[in-house]
């Protein structure tokens, strides 16, 4: 099917949905058709040129010979003029198709270049945006690290100052507290640092013995027990249970029975074993 100028002018391409511009496959197919048709036209044009040259050569030879009146061709048209007219029309058609193909190719190339430049601009903008975000994030992290380091230094300084203040307070309290001398033990020899002129420390008194109760509530000694010895160095105090107790009244108001002898109460804490009672004698 021959390709005409109207076909080239009215050719419509399907726009791609994924990418901008026309479908590359359709454009390539159309360019292949244009190339084939233009090749055919070039060959036809060369053939017509050769025929035209041969016709011109024959015309020159015919003009060089003495011309004889020739009968006009049927229809009143010279075949050479018809051939020249056809050749001129073919040349114009070929030139128009070549120019149209060049314009279409230039338009497609311009659109492709524009699309490529747009994609490059978008890619560069995205690259700059990503790099800018990464730089901002890096700066933010660096500021955060520096803040943490400053906080660590400040915390260490405050902790050190606090510990030093505590140590100074403890040292000051230890210096203000007087040291109490320890009392020497009884009977222990004086230490090497003791002064010979210091008065001797009196020995501690023995612990006081508990006083047993006196009077009628005094506990009785077990049978067969002798008197409890008095601790050495301890004398009965006046007014204690060691003094003589008043005689207890006996029967009929006499002490220890009627006519009986007066008995002395033993000292407090001592029990006297009693023997058989001696009856009184009456004269």
Give the C-alpha separation, 232 to 199, whole Å.
27
Give the C-alpha separation, 133 to 127, whole Å.
10
3-class secondary structure, 13? coil
Q: How many domains does the chain have?
A: 1
Task: Please report how the helices 79-176 and 24-64 are oriented relative to each other, as an axis angle in degrees rounded to 10.
Answer: 150
Query: Do the domain assignments include residue 202?
Result: no
Query: Do the domain assignments include residue 246?
Result: no
For range 182-192, the mean pLDDT: 50
Domain span at 9: 5-64+79-128
Average pLDDT along the chain: 70
Dihedral of CA atoms 112, 117, 119, 124 in degrees, nearest 10, equals 170
Query: Do the domain assignments include residue 71?
Result: no
Higher pLDDT, 46 or 282: 46
Query: Do the domain assignments include residue 29?
Result: yes
Query: Do the domain assignments include residue 32?
Result: yes
Cα-flanking dihedrals φ and ψ of residue 44, to 5°?
Answer: -65, -40
Q: Mention every residue, 6+ apart, whose C-beta is less than 8 A from residue 136.
A: none
For tokens 């301890």, what's the residue? 234
Residue 50 pLDDT class (50, 70, 90 cuts)? confident
The two three-digit tokens of residue 55, written as one number = 């016709």
Note the pTM of the prediction, 2 decimals: 0.26
Give the C-alpha separation, 275 to 249, whole Å.
19
Higher pLDDT, 237 or 280: 280
pLDDT at 234: 46
pLDDT at 177: 66
For range 32-51, the mean pLDDT: 83
Looking at residue 196, the DSSP 8-state letter turns out to be: T
Query: Do the domain assignments include residue 152?
Result: no
pLDDT at 29: 83
pLDDT at 42: 78
For range 252-281, the mean pLDDT: 51
Specify whether the CB–CB gap between 268 and 218 falls below 8 A: yes
Query: Do the domain assignments include residue 50?
Result: yes
pLDDT at 77: 60
Sign, CA torsion 239/243/249/255? negative
Sign, CA torsion 101/103/107/112? positive
Give the C-alpha separation, 158 to 161, whole Å.
5
pLDDT digits (tens, 9 = 90+) for 131-176: 999 999 999 999 999 999 999 999 999 999 999 999 999 988 877 6
pLDDT at 6: 67
Beta bridge partners of 249: 255
pLDDT at 161: 96
Query: Do the domain assignments include residue 123?
Result: yes
Beta bridge partners of 255: 249
């Amino acid at each position: 099917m021959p390709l005409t100028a109207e076909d080239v002018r009215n050719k419509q391409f399907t726009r791609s949905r994924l990418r901008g511009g026309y479908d590359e496959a359709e454009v390539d197919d159309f360019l292949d058709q244009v190339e084939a048709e233009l090749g055919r036209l070039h060959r036809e044009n060369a053939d017509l040129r050769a025929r035209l040259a041969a016709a011109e050569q024959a015309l020159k030879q015919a003009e060089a010979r003495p011309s004889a009146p020739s009968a006009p061709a049927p229809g009143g048209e010279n075949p050479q003029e018809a051939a020249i007219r056809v050749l001129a029309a073919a040349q114009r058609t070929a030139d128009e198709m070549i120019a149209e193909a060049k314009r279409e190719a230039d338009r497609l190339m311009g659109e492709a270049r524009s699309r490529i430049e747009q994609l490059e601009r978008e890619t560069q903008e995205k690259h700059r945006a990503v790099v800018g975000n990464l730089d901002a994030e890096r700066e933010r992290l660096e500021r955060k690290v520096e803040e943490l380091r400053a906080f660590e230094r400040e915390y260490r300084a405050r902790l050190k100052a606090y510990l030093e203040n505590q140590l100074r307070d403890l040292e000051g309290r230890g210096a203000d507290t007087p040291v109490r001398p320890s009392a020497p033990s009884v009977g222990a020899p004086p230490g090497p640092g003791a002064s010979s002129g210091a008065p001797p420390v009196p020995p501690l008194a023995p612990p006081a013995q508990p006083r047993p109760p006196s009077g009628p509530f005094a506990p009785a000694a077990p049978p067969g027990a002798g008197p409890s010895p008095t601790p050495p160095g301890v004398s009965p105090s006046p007014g204690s249970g060691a003094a003589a107790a008043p005689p207890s009244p006996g029967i009929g108001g006499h002490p220890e029975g009627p006519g009986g002898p007066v008995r002395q109460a033993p000292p407090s804490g001592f029990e006297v074993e009693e023997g058989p009672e001696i009856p009184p004698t009456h004269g």
